Amino acid sequence: MTTFVFRNQTVEAFLGYDGVTYSGYDDISVIPAEVDRYIWFYQVPVNPDSAQLAQEIDSYRDKLDLVLATADSGKPFVIFSLENLFPLRLTGDETAVSQAIAAFNNHAAELAATRAHVKWVDFSEFLGRYDAETLVNWKYYLMSQTLLNPKLARDFQTWWQRIEGELALQRKKCLILDLDNTLWGGVLGEDGVDGIKLGGDYPGKAFAYWQRSLLQLANNGVILAVCSKNNEADVDEAWQHNPFMVLKREHFSSLRINWQDKATNIREIAAELNIGLDSMVFVDDNPTERELIKQVLPQVEVPDFPAKPYELMPFFKQLVEKYFRIYAVTSEDRTKTEQYRANALRQAEQSHFADLETYLYSLDMELDIIPADEHNLPRIAQMTQKTNQFNLTTRRYTETDVQQRIDQGWRVFCMSVRDRFGDSGITAAVFLEPSDDVTVNIDSLLLSCRILGKGIEEAFIKTVFNLLRLDGYRHITAEYLPTAKNGQTADFYDRMGLTCVRTDDSCAKHYSLDLNEMFEIKNCYNIRVL
């Protein structure tokens, strides 16, 4: 990715030179078009004249607006918050500079809230790690206009790499939790429902804060699971009768409460949820259990658990920042617990039927095929970033990338799925690139693992084929690009009737299909095209 940086100070030590070019200091006269994204990285300059400095900061808003009006709106535009690395007030009642800074940052945040391609980054999060003396090195500033201490460059790059992952909507999917001395203080089997430490005074208060925080993590799209050596009946009693319990059975998408080894349990949780082990984080107070998972399941992240309950909230902050924070969550993220619990009910229900066909009819499935628009575009982009198993090409797209392709004439559809157990939300997407008036190429086809196993993927793509035929297209090309995780899709196009015309040395498969007739779709799906 190539990047152009608008700056008013020297920042090359932090953002580097590889694929990055820079404006002159406070110069917006050049806005190159041949880059992939823009970054606005202005910081408060040093000026003891507060009135003059406030006016200069006010001018940054106008310059930012001018750049945004001129730059390609199809490309990502990242704005760093404006921060005062060397605050200087000659009188105690001087507020002009701080007000100007706040006005700029509020304006930048509003731009990000109203324009899909604009993202706002809170730079104070990084700066807050250091004292004032560390932030500024006057030697470097006076010699090279580098106000932020270049000795912090490596730390900055680590932080910035994580922020870029957040902007790309990349995070872990599942947090697996032990119970005794992890979700509450004490051992349930020994202390009893009323004897465990939860709520009230310390240390119970610390565990109550911890549980409330974990609940908010679940509300923002992180799957919670339990892996605990315990008697399930005792745990159920605690969930039902301890008045201070915040997290209860319904907040967890998968439970393994038994005396089986935890590595086996975690494998089973991954299989039940249909997610990869590398999407999981395991939290347990017992260092022996942590070491077992580190050795046996190295794909799973295993952070060290804090030694004291008063360290739980800093530990939670570390979990969020390292594994779970993304730039924004979608409505599907917020209902993820219910979606995975509904999947468990579907699996249990399937065992009651003698054959799959009868089971599928019993689900009363409703599939809505929806063209991409401003409402579903964030979710579509998120799926391209997170979907690995059923993803034919595994191309990653930002919201801006998706919009850019739509503007170029691509057709992008998503699919929302509901049945009698619940609403799975938008869980599939296809990107179609017209080659000419009668030919279209399937650039990307992906489905969430939550809806696999019910033939929905077949109904989706056949409906799309029928729509293309009705719109005059007569030929389709497609490809399968193998990855370490998408092996289950290797023969999907073959099963859908496409012809493999070439296989590369990398095992990539290239397909062709003539749309000579409409595809027949099982009537166990109630399909609407919106």
Quick: pLDDT tens for 425-436: 899 999 999 999
**353-529 matches 174-324 in CATH topology:** no
Mean local confidence (pLDDT), 6-26: 95
pLDDT tens for residues 82-101? 999 988 887 877 889 999 99
Establish how many alpha carbons lie within 13 A of residue 60's alpha carbon, considering only the half-sphere containing its beta carbon: 30
Q: Residue 328 has what pLDDT?
A: 80
DSSP 35: S
Q: Where are the alpha helices (DSSP H) in 274-371?
A: 287-296, 312-319, 331-334, 336-350, 356-362
Q: Which of 162-171, 198-207, 471-480 has the lowest mean pLDDT?
A: 162-171
Q: Residue 413 has what pLDDT?
A: 97
Mean local confidence (pLDDT), 10-18: 94
CATH homologous superfamily of 174-324: HAD superfamily/HAD-like (3.40.50.1000)
* Residue of 101, 277, 283, 94 lying closest to 182 (CA atoms): 283
Asked if 230 and 188 count as a contact pair (C-beta separation under 8 A), the reply is yes
**Over 80: is that where the pLDDT of 77 sits?**
yes
Class of domain 353-529: alpha beta
CA-CA distance, 463 to 520, in Å (whole number)?
A: 9
Mean local confidence (pLDDT), 8-32: 94
Q: Residue 365: what are its φ and ψ, rounded to 5°?
A: -75, 135
Q: Residue 386 has what pLDDT?
A: 84
pLDDT tens for residues 230-247? 999 999 999 999 999 999
- The CATH number of domain 3-167 is 3.40.50.1110: yes
Token match 């998706």: residue?
402
**Over 80: is that where the pLDDT of 393 sits?**
yes
CA-CA distance, 76 to 118, in Å (whole number)?
A: 6
- What are the tokens at 186? 């004490």
**Over 70: is that where the pLDDT of 107 sits?**
yes
Q: Residue 354 has what pLDDT?
A: 65
Domain ranges of the chain: 3-167, 174-324, 353-529
pLDDT tens for residues 49-66? 999 999 999 999 999 999
pTM reported for the whole predicted model = 0.69
Q: Residue 351 has what pLDDT?
A: 64
Q: Residue 348 has what pLDDT?
A: 65
Q: Residue 344 has what pLDDT?
A: 67
Which residues are CB-contacts of 184 (< 8 A; sequence separation ≥ 6)?
A: 196, 197, 198, 204, 207, 211, 238, 245
**Over 90: is that where the pLDDT of 295 sits?**
yes
Asked if 248 and 239 count as a contact pair (C-beta separation under 8 A), the reply is yes
Which residues are CB-contacts of 521 (< 8 A; sequence separation ≥ 6)?
A: 458, 459, 462, 463, 466, 527
> What is the pLDDT confidence band of residue 189, given thresholds at 50, 70 and 90?
confident
pLDDT tens for residues 331-389? 777 776 677 767 766 776 776 676 778 888 888 999 999 999 988 998 999 899 888 88
Q: Residue 166 has what pLDDT?
A: 87
Taking 3-state DSSP, the helix, strand and coil percentages for the chain, each rounded to the nearest 5, stand at 40, 20, 40
Q: Which of 302-306, 340-344, 448-452, 512-516 has the lowest mean pLDDT?
A: 340-344
Partners of 428 in the β-ladder: 415, 447
Asked if 123 and 156 count as a contact pair (C-beta separation under 8 A), the reply is no
The chain-wide mean pLDDT, for the chain, equals 92
pLDDT tens for residues 395-425? 999 888 999 999 999 999 999 999 988 888 8
CA-CA distance, 339 to 359, in Å (whole number)?
A: 19
